[in-house]
């Protein structure tokens, strides 16, 4: 059985990737990998509190590999930390790393390059699934998420903090990817088929910072 490390952003695409991987009898997800902004103690980009990621992990039942990144963090510094992760993965019998990328070729190519020579195979379980259908499938399966980060140059800032549901999909303007794959928005999953139970959350303060709009998700 192939032992897999899953890149876990705390968002919907990661959760759906895990859902698909768990349906494969030849794969066991051995650990979840999350990078944190060490200054804020939150998930990098998604700005989700570490305690909420820990609540996700508790409901999933898979160990979390937390990687703390300085802020700001250079790409060189990031890649050095990822090399250490790859070495640990190989030492623990992991042979592949899975990602929730959907269709951005440059991101996929970067991940493939980073794993070259590590002995780790890159996996992309949700790659090129049509995002409109993917969004509907996630919602129909019971996945629940909140928009934690919005790029106001692409999407109206009032979307920050909203639930990722059918009404949101219908409200997205033309040209906005239904899964936010072009960076329009990021999410935090508080219930999913891979969870043993939901996480009770509420939306807190909404702030604009560094060119993005962040909605603080809090335990309810």
Percent of the chain past pLDDT 70, that is, above it, reads 100
Q: What is the mean pLDDT of residues 187-197?
A: 98
Q: What is the mean pLDDT of residues 74-93?
A: 94
pLDDT at 46: 84
pLDDT at 60: 98
Q: What is the mean pLDDT of residues 174-185?
A: 97
Angle in degrees, 0-180, between the axes of helices 75-91 and 105-115, rounded to the nearest 10: 60
pLDDT at 26 over 90: yes
d(CA 193, CA 207): 31
pLDDT at 45 over 90: no
Which tokens hold the place of 215?
A: 């909605």
Which tokens hold the place of 6?
A: 């899953």
pLDDT at 44 over 90: no
Within the chain, strands assigned E span 2-7, 27-37, 42-43, 64-69, 96-98, 121-123, 144-150, 185-191, 201-209, 212-219
pTM of the model: 0.96
Q: What is the mean pLDDT of residues 101-121?
A: 96
Q: Which residue has the tokens 């508790």?
A: 58
Domains and CATH numbers, the chain: 2-123 (3.40.50.620), 131-219 (no CATH)
Characterize the bridge pairing of strands 201-209 and 212-219.
antiparallel
């Amino acid at each position: 059985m192939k032992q897999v490390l899953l890149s876990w952003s705390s968002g919907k695409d990661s959760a759906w990737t895990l859902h698909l991987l768990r349906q494969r009898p030849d794969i066991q997800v051995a650990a979840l990998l999350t990078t944190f902004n060490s200054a804020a103690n939150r998930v990098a980009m998604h700005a989700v509190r570490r305690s909420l990621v820990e609540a996700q992990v508790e409901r999933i039942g898979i160990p979390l590999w937390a990687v703390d990144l300085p802020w700001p963090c250079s790409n060189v510094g990031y890649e050095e930390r990822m090399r250490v992760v790859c070495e640990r993965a190989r030492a623990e019998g992991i042979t592949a790393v899975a990602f929730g990328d959907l269709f951005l070729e440059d991101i996929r190519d970067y991940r493939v390059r980073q794993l070259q020579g590590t002995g780790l195979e890159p996996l992309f379980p949700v790659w090129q699934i049509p995002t409109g259908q993917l969004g509907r499938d996630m919602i129909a399966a019971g996945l629940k998420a909140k928009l934690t980060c919005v790029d106001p140059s692409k999407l109206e800032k009032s979307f920050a903090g909203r639930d990722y549901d059918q009404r949101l999909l219908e409200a997205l303007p033309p040209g906005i990817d239904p899964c936010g794959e072009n960076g329009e928005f990021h999410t935090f999953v508080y219930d999913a088929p891979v969870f043993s139970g939901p996480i009770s959350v509420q939306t807190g303060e909404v702030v604009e910072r560094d060119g993005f709009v962040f909605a603080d998700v809090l335990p309810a």
